[in-house]
Amino acid sequence: MRVHLITPVITEGIRTLDDVAPLMRDDLVITQSLLATGPASIECEFDEAMAVPGIVVEAIRAERAGADAIVIDCMGDPGLKAAREVVSIPVLGPAQTAMHLAAMLGHRFSVVTVLDSVVPMIENLAKVYGVGEKLASVRVIGIPVLELEAAPERLTTELAQASRAAVEEDGAHAIVLGCTGFLGCAQAIAATLRAHGHSLPVIDPVPATVCMADGLVRAGLAHSKRTYGTPRDKELRGYPEIGIARHGA
């Protein structure tokens, strides 16, 4: 089983295979790629738009290289629908996966994310994914994506404080970490919440989505091609790799 992780930015080192090594097993290999062109990080709709062509290219490459499933490594789920149209293997977005898990595991959930510019994106995704009524709040910690690794103790503290406020003030019954850059923080946040009397799930989107991808492949399931049909054959100017890959050259 091979799950390919597309990290949809150009910043070297922002994600490495060491980060996801604990998710690997003898029968589950994770591979990963960055974008050749696109944004340094994704914190708004413009960043997402600039990332989508590269995501589509990487999705096509991953399927052709033998990947069994693809995970897009960003809580904005950039290019999710487009990638599903150009490949037949499962493609999963962490936001869609984590939000549905949270809605299943608790009455209402809150998302804790990086910046105010991300809030409309998260709220809109919740509506599109049909869980808008389950979304209690979106809280921000005020740390840009490219600064997350600079102060890990501050990151954990800010996430724990925002999560506690989401529970105590907003009525959240589950917490979703709203940036894949928060990978590895869930356990500490859950422990802090328990110390204040709150026993509830804290969903780390990358592990949750990799596990979901693994499960879908094992169950023989993928996205519906009636929903995500293959694009019609027509001229595509300026993106030769996408066109070549689509037509099997």
pLDDT at 56 over 70: yes
**CA-CA distance, 82 to 91, in Å (whole number)?**
10
DSSP character for 232? Answer: P
Phi then psi for residue 26, to 5 deg, are -60, -30
Residue range 173-193: average pLDDT? 98
Residue at 45: amino acid letter:
E
The alpha carbon dihedral of 190, 193, 194, 198 has a sign of negative
Q: What is the pTM of this model?
A: 0.95
Q: Say if strands 2-6 and 29-33 run parallel, antiparallel, or are unpaired.
A: parallel
- Supply the pLDDT for residue 53: 96
pLDDT for 87-120, tens place per residue? 999 999 999 999 999 999 999 999 999 999 999 9
In the sheet with 174-177, reading across from the earlier edge strand, the strands are 135-140, 109-113, 174-177, 202-203
- Supply the pLDDT for residue 243: 67
Question: Band of the pLDDT at 233, cuts 50, 70, 90?
Answer: confident
Residue range 173-181: average pLDDT? 98
Percent of the chain with pLDDT over 90: 92
Averaged confidence pLDDT in the chain: 95
pLDDT at 213 over 80: yes
- Supply the pLDDT for residue 245: 46
Residue at 120: amino acid letter:
P
> What does the block give as tokens for 15?
């994600």
Q: What is the b/e burial string over 87-125, where b = at least 16 CB atoms within 10 angstroms of the residue's CB?
A: bebbbbbbbbbbbbbbbeebebbbbbbbeeebbebbeeb
pLDDT for 149-167, tens place per residue? 998 999 999 999 999 999 9
